[in-house]
């Protein structure tokens, strides 16, 4: 469903999700252009703190400008200091992910799932999710190195068990 991805960094025991990437400074007062990496750009409004790279920062202000989010951090009050954050990813705890409706999943929850046929035979592992506009497509890497494209449609994807790490798909041709 979204472009969020799991961060490799874990702080404490809780996994983190990436919500944006710091771009160039904006103006002279320490604001940074943030490239949102989420479908929920309004999620930045309520942020009080965020990890930027390996550093916990406190959010002083959030504004929206064109397709960027302009953020200012208390720890970086001037442009030259804020510029050091350019290129770093912004992460929040997994528990702060925006809620989804039933039957919707985050991309980072889908990637890595083992994919099985209804008879229990393993097809491979989801390696990527393509966003086509009409529906997502799961890219499944098989053990023989080929890729299987699975349309994310209810008539094809019969079960998604994120906690169990598996997905069941029926790729049978319709008559």
Per-residue model confidence (pLDDT) at position 14: 67
Predicted local confidence at residue 173, as pLDDT = 58
The per-residue pLDDT for range 105-140, each reduced to its tens digit, is: 888 889 999 999 999 999 999 999 998 888 999 999
pLDDT digits (tens, 9 = 90+) for 25-49: 998 889 999 999 887 888 898 899 9
Nearest to 5, CA basis, from 67, 71, 97, 88: 97
- Which residue matches tokens 């990496």? 37
In this predicted structure, the answer to whether residue 8 has a pLDDT above a threshold of 70 is no
pTM above 0.85, yes or no: no
Tell me which of 3-12, 74-83, 127-136 is least confident: 3-12
Query: All domains of the chain, ordered by start, with CATH?
Result: 5-96 (2.40.30.60), 107-169 (2.30.30.240)
Q: Tell whether the model's pLDDT for residue 4 goes beyond 50.
A: no
pLDDT at 106: 86
Report the pLDDT averaged over residues 69-85: 95
The pLDDT > 70 percentage for the chain reads: 90
Query: Looking at 1-10, 23-32, 75-84, 139-148, which range is the least confident one?
Result: 1-10
- Reference 45, options 22, 66, 19; nearest CA is 19
Sheet of strand 157-161, all strands in order from the earlier edge strand to the far edge: 147-151, 136-141, 122-131, 114-116, 166-169, 157-161
């Amino acid at each position: 469903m979204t472009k969020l991805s799991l961060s490799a960094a874990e702080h404490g025991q809780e996994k983190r999700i990436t919500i944006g990437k710091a771009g160039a400074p904006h103006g002279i007062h320490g604001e940074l252009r943030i490239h949102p990496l989420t479908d929920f750009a309004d999620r930045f409004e309520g942020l009080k703190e965020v990890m930027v790279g390996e550093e916990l920062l406190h959010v002083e202000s959030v504004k929206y400008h064109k397709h960027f989010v302009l953020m200012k951090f208390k720890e970086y009050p001037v442009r030259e200091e804020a510029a050091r954050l350019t290129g770093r990813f912004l992460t929040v705890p997994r528990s702060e992910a925006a809620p989804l409706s039933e039957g919707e999943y985050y991309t980072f929850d889908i990637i890595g799932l083992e994919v099985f046929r209804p008879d229990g035979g393993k097809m491979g592992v989801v390696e990527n999710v393509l966003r086509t506009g009409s529906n997502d497509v799961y890219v499944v890497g098989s053990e023989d190195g080929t890729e299987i494209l699975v349309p994310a449609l209810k008539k094809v994807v019969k079960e998604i068990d994120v906690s169990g790490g598996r997905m069941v798909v029926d790729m049978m041709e319709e008559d």
